[in-house]
Structure 1
């Protein structure tokens, strides 16, 4: 039996409050500040990680897709062969953005992609699920090339929901895995990646990373709270490693889902202890949500770009906002500054309400 195709990322692009472009996402200073995009006077929390100037979500997504395709060296003919998997919020305001299915079709036409589109609105695992599906389609030989795009721009409705639920940090900082963490903060995020088989990418373009493994699993525990034992996320990570044929010791870095909330960070630490066995306390871990905020449906793709660029640069992102260890999170957290390291594989994890968990195992080309 023939080996399945190697799945590669050949073009990546991202926008967040850290800046525009993939390299900008390795910034080390948190981007949180007062929200000026809408009125927050009635809100408990008034900060987020937002861009000072931003277009509509459709315009930002189209620009990101164009930049990713350009970085991958895709000409008009090759673009026309690309399916589009799009991760966005399931209920945009009709007077601001088109409904997701219409938006996907418009973006495909606007960016010269094929008419094959699929939309993901499964909250904070939307984008990572889309990447897993793209990798599956390519590894099975169903498709040779896929564009995955995702976007969320901080807006008043979701902000109000998180604020009313007291999920937002009232001290203006996100402190993943840290003692004294007080919650999450939202952020702008738009990203696009070109996912291809190695054979399809043979045109002189240097791949950014490989998608070596992927896994998905559910907690079936609670509508909003994660299973404190971390069983679902652990299963997703283990499946990703098994698919890649690699042991836990192959993981040189974990880009964690950690949002800075007490229960979810502790559950994720438990998941890593399950999935990586005794190695979990050694592997470097950080959550870049401490820098760019929680970008909801775009989180999985933005953090995939960050992880890929970190491997390429040999510099692992800092877990900002750290105040001290929490006994519920006995991990090797990267504090104070980014860490220089030559890493060949990294896990990037995401979780969503409803108990959904995803794991993507990223490798150097």
Structure 2
């Protein structure tokens, strides 16, 4: 499965180069919130892009950029499905009821985005929290491998809003010290961040026939649910472990083949040990050797867009032979016995990498990415 186009916008800036610069240097993009007043909240920090437009406009821009990078013609786009993972748009929610109903009757945001960008295939919308985008990628891959379509565009977007900020702040999930410290002792929680991304997935023959090189390949994917708790993951990490095992089995690979893991890594007390336990279940002794980091420590938690932003980051790591730094680390946590990528990591060119995501309700996804031979 070829990834032939991708585009991303985060608090680091617009484009893959801006994201790469930040994640490889381990330079967080967090700063004071400027979109709304945080005087009544415990925390006043996020990772936002100054001057960001509406979520719809930002999504349209990355879809256009990804399609252009993949060299899709108008005819290619006309038969191309759009799978959209997007957080609710506060502006849409506040429209008069008649305008909301009229927009939804025209197949909602996905339909409007497809019309604007020339995509004419089937539409799907995903709202399954932090695995929305990674689930969309897995579904797109299944559509292509089954022969139903030659290619698909997956898009995802989230822009920090006060509604979500207030919820996470009230739940004491935000890091009061303004730093995200995945898998570290002394970690204090997550911070929200802007994230908008799009990728084009294609069947290898379709990409080759168009003369379009693959940026990377999606070698496998896995999904699992544990239904343990509305918010907390199962401490034993069984859901994450099963998702990773399924991705490896689909790709016909062994745990030792994995050369890097872009972890979900929210830096919350419950998530990180459970995710580490899941990696130990799936990878065995290799879990303590393979380099691991969470790019949320740089760009923040982008909610529904997390799976796609982090897939792009994983592709960049494979392409550039550099690993994202697990920023904010203070000291080892014995409950997270992982080989974390810390300051100034050496050059490393793994062939395969995992991108993991975990969502409320016990949903787990694993995307296995292969470095392009080009």
Instruction: Report the TM-score when normalising by structure 1.
Output: 0.96
Which ranges of structure 2 fall in alignment gaps of 5 or more residues? none
Residue 59 (structure 2) pairs with residue 61 (structure 1): yes
1:360 is matched with: 367
User: What CA distance in whole angstroms lies between the structure 1 residues aligned with 2:128 and 2:71?
Assistant: 31
1:3 is matched with: none
- Cα offset for 1:219? 1.3
1:208 is matched with: 215
Residue 68 (structure 2) pairs with residue 70 (structure 1): yes
Instruction: Report the TM-score when normalising by structure 2.
Output: 0.94
| Structure 2 counterpart of 1:252, from 244, 254, 259 | 259
User: CA-to-partner distance for each residue in 1:254-285, whole Å, 9 max, x for gaps?
Assistant: 00001011110000000000000111000000
What secondary structure does 1:316 align onto? coil
2:316 is matched with: 309
CA contact (8 A) 2:266 2:296 kept: yes
User: What CA distance in whole angstroms lies between the structure 1 residues aligned with 2:65 and 2:281?
Assistant: 39
2:156 is matched with: 150
Residue 115 (structure 2) pairs with residue 117 (structure 1): no
CA contact (8 A) 1:101 1:119 kept: no
2:143 is matched with: 137
CA contact (8 A) 1:269 1:330 kept: yes
Which ranges of structure 1 fall in alignment gaps of 5 or more residues? 1-6
| Structure 2 counterpart of 1:168, from 150, 174, 182 | 174
CA contact (8 A) 2:218 2:370 kept: yes
Count the aligned residue pairs: 359
| Structure 2 counterpart of 1:179, from 171, 174, 185 | 185
User: What CA distance in whole angstroms lies between the structure 2 residues aligned with 1:22 and 1:111?
Assistant: 20
2:41 is matched with: 43
2:195 is matched with: 189
- Cα offset for 1:140? 1.0
User: What CA distance in whole angstroms lies between the structure 2 residues aligned with 1:101 and 1:358?
Assistant: 27
User: What CA distance in whole angstroms lies between the structure 1 residues aligned with 2:275 and 2:11?
Assistant: 25
Bigger shift: residues 187-196 or 15-24: 15-24
CA contact (8 A) 1:217 1:233 kept: yes
What secondary structure does 2:354 align onto? strand
- Cα offset for 1:90? 4.5
| Structure 2 counterpart of 1:284, from 288, 291, 314 | 291
- 1:3-22 mapped onto 2 (5 Å cutoff): 7-22=1-16
